Amino acid sequence: MSNFVTVGSKFPEFSKKAVVAIEKGKEFKTISNEDIKGKWAVLFWWPKDFTFICPTEIAEFNKNFSNFEDRDTVLLGASTDSEYVHHAWRMHHDDLRDLKFPMIADTSKSLAEELGILSEDEKVAYRATYIIDTEGIVRWVSVNDLGVGRNVDEVLRVLDALQTDELCPCNWTKGEATLVAEVG
């Protein structure tokens, strides 16, 4: 990986086709930076459609969709598969039919490449998760190897911590006290 978008970086400009529904005539929409402008966003990547770990993660993010909404956060999913493959997968997988967030198709692999998350061998995206703030700045990145699923509760915990704009200690969870830096 030559370049890598990390914490403190501006999230790259993008405009990609996405599957947003399975209803005929309403399946596809273009998703871009404009859809997250001025909002918190979580963008998570999976390697390939029609695989084994990926649908467990996508279903778990979907199950937690209202938790992201409650935090005024736009949830987006992406892989390097085409929008047509995404659509077929949604149509044929019980856990994916009723997704509440877009499945972005980075068919050209340009965004995944710019982010620095393409695997060397297969050129598929690693299991990367980005939390992007209201200014379009990456505030958290987590990248798992291809064979290990991520923890959606941890994504929510970190999002909560970032949104406090305070100092949050190890294992902090929403509702707990934050730290006060003593100067002296």
Q: For residue 6, which of 104, 114, 163, 119 has the smallest C-alpha distance?
A: 114
CB 157 within 8 A of CB 150: no
Q: For residue 153, which of 139, 137, 168, 142 has the smallest C-alpha distance?
A: 142
Is 54 a catalytic site residue? yes
Catalytic residue among 18, 54, 115, 152: 54
Q: To 10 degrees, the CA torsion angle through 141, 38, 11, 101?
A: 70
Positions annotated as catalytic residues are 54
